[in-house]
Structure formats: C-alpha cells, structure tokens
Amino acid sequence: MWPWEHAILGYLVYSGVCHLRYGESPTSLGTSVVVFASLLPDLIDKPLAWSVGLVETGYAIGHSVFFAVPLVVAVGVWAASAEQRRVGVAFGVGYLLHLPADIVFQMTGGSGVHLEIVLWPIATFGEVEATNGFLWESLRRIELFRADVLAGDLSTYMWAQLVITVLVFCLWLYDGAPVAREGVRKTANLLTR
C-alpha cells in the first residue's frame, strides 16, 4: 500500500474509535500518533531493505506480528502509565492496521493471500530488493504512481482510493482538521504578539 493509504485507513478507524468510545473528535496528538504509527512498519523495513540491505525485502521486522504486538503492548503500557491512554490507542490502531492492510492490498493485486508478510523471520515475502536507497526508491515509486494517475486510465482500485481519500478528508474537516487547527492557532498567536 501507499503511505497515504495507510495514513487514511489509520485516521478513519481512529476517528471512529474516538467518536464511539470517547464521544469526541480525535485530538492533534492522537492524529499525529496514528498517522506516524500507520507508517512506522514501512519506515522500519523499507530503509533496512532499500538502503542498508539488512533485510532482503520491505516486509520484515516492522511488519512482523512477533515485533508488532510486543511493541504495541509496550507503547500501550507506557501511555497508560503517563495517563495518555488515547496515545496508546492511536499507536495501536495505526500500527496494527498496517499489517492486515498490506495483506489485503496484495490480494487486490490478484496475488492471493500472503500471510508471510507478517510472519518474519519464520517466513518472508517478496523478492530481494536491490535499489539505490530509500529516498531514491520512494521517489521512483511515487513517480510511477503519478504517471499512472496522469495517464487517465484509472483502475477500479485507484477510483476507490480517490473516493475514500475524499471521504476521509471530509471526515477530517468534520473532526475540526486536527493538527492543521493547532498549526493555524499557533501561527495566529505568533502574529498577534
């Protein structure tokens, strides 16, 4: 999945949790944490594969349930001890949704169910990825995506992605645009001093 797809999914579910469990919109801190956590498995594995060569593919340590579950529990315990339970919830939602989302994404591409995505080091998924580094590979893949969008022949998956993006953007606005809201307030405070 693309990074923004993980962030959108994480925010969508976290916003739902906040409304259903707490009766309010997500805070800026919770929003920041859920987005960061939704990207973290790739931020761990992609550089380790694409830049360092420590792992063979971009699905390794960060995507492993054997790493993810203890990490989420540790963050949850820390957040509870710091009286920031919602931060722990945001982290858990973002991180743990990333793993099945990658499995579902592979299924939408027609390659079947690949549970090995989340079973490192017992199983590995994908070919050895030889690249010119994390930044270069990321830019290359984004350029391929941009070219597909500009070609105008969007797949059903890409149309669905665009519709979901617009809907979640509307949800974010309904929630009061967390993170952006605080940025505007801080900027206004600085300008009025």
Total domains present in the chain: 1
DSSP per position, 71-93: HHHHHHHHHHHTT-HHHHHHHHH
- pLDDT for res 131: 66
Nearest in space to 41 (alpha carbons), one of 60, 69, 56: 60
Counting as low any pLDDT under 50, the low residues of the chain are none
- pLDDT for res 136: 80
CB distance 58 to 50 below 8 Å? yes
Number of Cα atoms under 13 Å in the Cβ half of residue 148: 12
| CA distance linking residue 15 with residue 10, whole number of Å | 8
Domain containing 39 equals 3-191
Chain segment 119-153, per-residue pLDDT in tens? 998 988 776 665 677 788 888 878 988 888 888 87
